[in-house]
Homo-oligomer: A and B are copies of this chain.
């Protein structure tokens, strides 16, 4: 049986209220009393019940995190930032995996609500109007990371400027002499990021006077196999292969594309240059090291938590609710070759 606040109170010869004060407002307690109480706690290995505390105080020092899939490679980096910031603020994190299902994501809000989380971080999936009812009644602040909202309920989002990022990739490639630039874009029904990056790609081409050619574009759902298959289709669509560079919407798809190219006797970057997106830890581990767009995952996580912590218990002003665009960065490595 765990020791309770009552046990400690009895042992120290004080009331439970005093024990509670020692824990929460020590400056209101006589130093000697503090000493006695602390000793008692020590000897009984007392650990306050976060549960009871949550019930009484109506807050739980816990943040809820909803992710689409735990196996997404970027998860670890994002979580690192979230965990770091949470810890600094004395918060715990409750994880909820929606398994890429909208229903489960919706359910996640309720379940986390049941745990009295102080705030919720929602990740990666596009938030549409379906979310409005839930968003209205969760009763705790919600922030978005790596995605944005199309719902009416105002919600802040932390992410990068997707369009600009992909524009930068195209610019980088053009500067290195590439003109025939293909793309494996991201596409999922509940994802807007893919469109945005594709838009950046088109914008980039247009800016440099290159015509958009849909034979050079394919789609995938961000994972390795999607990249592999998309590359396969790209190869089939152009019998006389003349693409010199390829942008992708994720490092994983870039890996898939590279594997596919290798399996077809093509080499990176000798035969074709490839640029990834995300800068996952593994991007620098493979051969060739992957040139890619670094997303500040950890920073995004930290920023989201900070916002949440500041927002808890009060109504955030409209000016605080916006899209926070954190800086991305193109990381030059070995998968792009300068032409001519």
- What residues of chain A have their CB less than 8 Å away from a CB belonging to chain B? 1-2, 45, 47-52, 54-55, 60, 70-71, 73, 75-77, 79-80, 83, 92-97, 110-111, 113-116, 133, 137, 139, 224, 252, 255-256, 258-259, 262, 281-282, 285-287
Contact = CB atoms under 8 A, between A and B. Distances in A.
A18 to B, nearest CB: 20
Contact of A286 (B115, B139, B286): B286
- Interface-centre pick from A80, A255, A258, A282 (highest chain B CB count, 10 A): A282
Q: Which has the most chain B C-beta neighbours within 10 Å: A115, A258, A259, A286?
A: A115
6 contacts: A1-B139, A51-B54, A71-B76, A92-B111, A224-B281, A259-B285
A52 B55 contact: yes
Contact of A139 (B2, B77, B258): B2
Given A92-B94, A97-B83, A139-B2, A114 B50 contact: yes
A71 B82 CA distance: 13
Given A48-B114, A51-B60, A256 B285 contact: yes
B70 A79 contact: yes
A288 B47 CA distance: 51
Nearest to A227: B285
A47 B114 contact: yes
Contacts of A111: 47, 50, 92
A92 B115 contact: yes
B2 A113 contact: yes
| Copies of this protein chain in the complex | 2
Give 3 closest A-B pairs by Cβ, nearest first.
A50-B114, A51-B54, A255-B285
* A113, A116, A287: most-surrounded residue (chain B CB, <10 A): A287
Nearest to A258: B287
A95 B93 contact: yes
A50 B73 CA distance: 31
B285 A116 contact: no
Contacts of A48: 114
Contacts of A76: 70-71, 73, 75-76
B70 A115 contact: no
Contact of A116 (B50, B77, B79, B96): B50
A296 to B, nearest CB: 15
A282 B225 CA distance: 11
A60 B133 CA distance: 28
